[in-house]
Amino acid sequence: MSVQTTVLNLPEEEHVHPGNRACAGCGLGLIYRTVLKALGDNTILVVPPSCLTVLQGLYPVAATKLPCLNVTFASTAAAATGVVAALRARKKEGITVAAFAGDGGTSDIGIQALSGACERRDDFIYICYDNEDYMNTGVQRSGTTPKGVLTTTTPFTGKAQASKNVPAIVAAHGIDYVATASAAYPLDLYDKIKKALPHKGVRYIHVHTPCPAGWGFDPRYSVKIGQLAVVSGMYDLYEIENGIKRLTGASQKLLKKDRSPVKDYLAMQVRFRSFSEEDAKYLQAETEAKWEAYRTQFSED
Amino acid sequence: MHIIESGNTAAAHGVKLARAQVIAAYPITPQTPLTEKLSEFVAAGELDAQYIPVESEHSALGVCIAASSAGARAFTGTSANGLLYMHEQIHWAAGARLPIVMCVVNRGVGAPWTIWNDHQDSMSQRDTGWIQLYACDHQQIIDTVIQAFRLAETVNIPVMVCYDGYILSHTYMPFDIPTAEKVDAFLPPYAPDDALDPGKPCNLNTVTMPDTRQDVDGNTAPGYMDIRHSLHADLRTAVEEVVAIDREFRNLFGRGGNPLVESYCCDDAEVVAISLGSLSYQLRTVVDALRKEGLKVGSAGLRLYRPFPDQAIIELLSGIRRVVVFEKAISYGNQGPLYADLKSALYRQTTRPEVENYILGLGGRGIQTEELTSILRDACQGPGVENDAPRFIGIRI
């Protein structure tokens, strides 16, 4: 990556007021703060109903210092398009429009509007914070919930199906910039937002977002769990810029070093408690195979 | 300039003269020629607007909601299932008090599929908090579209301009296209002072509590119900705005004069036929024929359906012996919606007319002038109907 921000040169200015309605240890809180730092204050946010609606506060109090348009669940990307169109019609230049939705709002109910906006090359940044369930409504399964995960709508044995690969679906639209990131690696996320900014069309950032309440772990371990997802090789940090995919940050380093066992990640979370020893082994093998392919695919890195 | 063109083209010229800045639409019959024409105006550089060819009607109104929130004059148009697919957005636009204008090219709704005209689509959106205007001919379509933007931006409430699919959208009629200078004088640029702006950040449409709540400075902010009550209160006063805007329009353009209810031969009438849209003009032909038979009958069409112009209705109908309501929509399992609204408006009057309800033309079922004539003749001469049950005209099986 051309620019690498560190804690020493990360801007100190905050765009989130102190105090908000997020749960203790919320991964979204980390992401929100980091993304807003990268976007800067000349930005308009578009938010569908989600945990972020709650985090931002109840009328007439708001946690954000940026203007924000709350919209219907399925219309996040269409609304971002509408803001961009209005700014263009009114000859207002230099304002960034950023949509900020959860995984349900992106992979399920919002995917049609997102696909339409990507195809039209409408000009905004779309951030999907993926906590792998419908958390705001009380931990129901979503399109990105991993196989085997216990949710309130997949009780006892967990979700039977694999998760939907949303960044790959979005990348298939041929947009200029798609990236994955994690709440546990805020500097990597910050740099990806910065990198996305000068591109045109929809720029899509998918962010892995540990959720203590929904995943079942002590709030103090949010970053630890986010890191384990990456260093075990289960969740990969990458970017696809102008069609070229490359691993970044901690994932890139995994090409040349050992990954931590998948079971370490699973063991820390209540949502995986229906996983058997066999399931964990299968997941480990699946991860091995994926990384075997990566070693060939990304060997020049 | 007078031209002979379709109703959809008349609407498109209205949108162009209104200088809509953001247009988002998804094709659906019989609305398509309207949006094709608008995309042509934009592509030819005749209209300086952002035309967004969205992937669904839900997104069409989603784009308009956001564009309007960001300070642009926004327009969309749709029909039937497209309108229904927008439904949550329709509520949202009214709740957010956005002055969006939408043409509803009236069409029946599935299932089974029909592409032909009735009013079930716009009627089903009656309670969303939008203003609903109905046009009866091509001139009214273009004039109403222009007035709709002015009205919407005066009261901060979105407006539907409804006109009959095929009967008006696809037929060719002469109409006058006013000059851009005159329309500009009537409709100034949209300049809201509360548009989304990084210089004045605000969090719009966020979660609002059942009760009032204090802001950080100790001021009391409204709760959800207070906000929704103000929408209702402002809709009621919008009736007066419709009248005032029509008066101003008439002074400038020489057209209009009956913005709430348009009546024909009602002054001395004993029986009045009431309907919405082009049907009220078809009923004028029936009135002409029956007048020749010496029957005192008139026709009236509601131009404004929401907010309901109850005072105008009471004034028009208080001395009438019998009112016959013809409707291209029904509240299934009950009655025609206009019939129920009209009876409700008349309920507190000491002298009130008998009211009859006829349902006709659903899914484009032909409306025969002979049938209308026969019903109205019976209404003039017969004993009247015995109950509130709607009577279906033209049922074949």
Per-residue model confidence as pLDDT tens digits over B324-383: 999 999 999 999 999 999 999 999 999 999 999 999 999 999 999 999 999 999 999 999
Residue A42: inside a domain, yes or no? yes
Question: What mean pLDDT comes out for the span B277-293?
Answer: 98
Residue A4: inside a domain, yes or no? no
A72 CB within 8 Å of a chain B CB: yes
Residue A20: inside a domain, yes or no? no
- How far off is chain A from B27, nearest CA to CA, in Å? 14
Residue A180: inside a domain, yes or no? yes
Residue A156: inside a domain, yes or no? yes
Residue A178: inside a domain, yes or no? yes
- Nearest residue of B to residue A15 by CA position? B201
**H helices, E strands: number in chain B:** 13, 18
- Tell whether the model's pLDDT for residue A299 goes beyond 80: no
List the domain range (segments joined by +) for residue A275. Answer: 27-297
The alpha carbon of A289 is separated from its chain's Cα centroid by a whole number of angstroms, namely: 24
Q: Do A67 and B201 touch (CB under 8 A)?
A: yes
Confidence (pLDDT) at B127: 98
- Nearest residue of A to residue B63 by CA position? A82
| Chain B environment of A116 (Cβ under 8 Å) | 54-56, 59
In the numeric block, which tokens belong to residue B303?
């131009």
pTM: 0.97
- Tell whether the model's pLDDT for residue B69 goes beyond 80: yes
Q: Which amino acid is at A214?
A: G
Residue B261 CA to residue B348 CA, distance in Å, equals 20
pLDDT in tens, A19-74: 889 999 999 999 999 999 999 999 999 999 999 999 999 999 999 999 999 999 99
Cβ neighbours of residue B382 closer than 8 Å, sequence gap 6 or more: none
Total domains in the fold of chain A: 1
Q: ipTM more than 0.90?
A: yes
The domain that holds A213 is classified in CATH as 3.40.50.970
Residue A17: inside a domain, yes or no? no
**What share of chain B has pLDDT > 70, as a percent?**
100
Average pLDDT score, chain A = 96
| Through-space distance between the first and last CA atoms of chain B, rounded to whole angstroms | 48
A118 CB within 8 Å of a chain B CB: no
Q: Do A82 and B207 touch (CB under 8 A)?
A: no
> Parallel, antiparallel, or unpaired for β A125-130 and A96-102?
parallel
Residue A263: inside a domain, yes or no? yes
Domains annotated on chain B, with CATH: 2-186 (3.40.50.970), 261-392 (3.40.50.920)
- How far off is chain B from A178, nearest CA to CA, in Å? 21
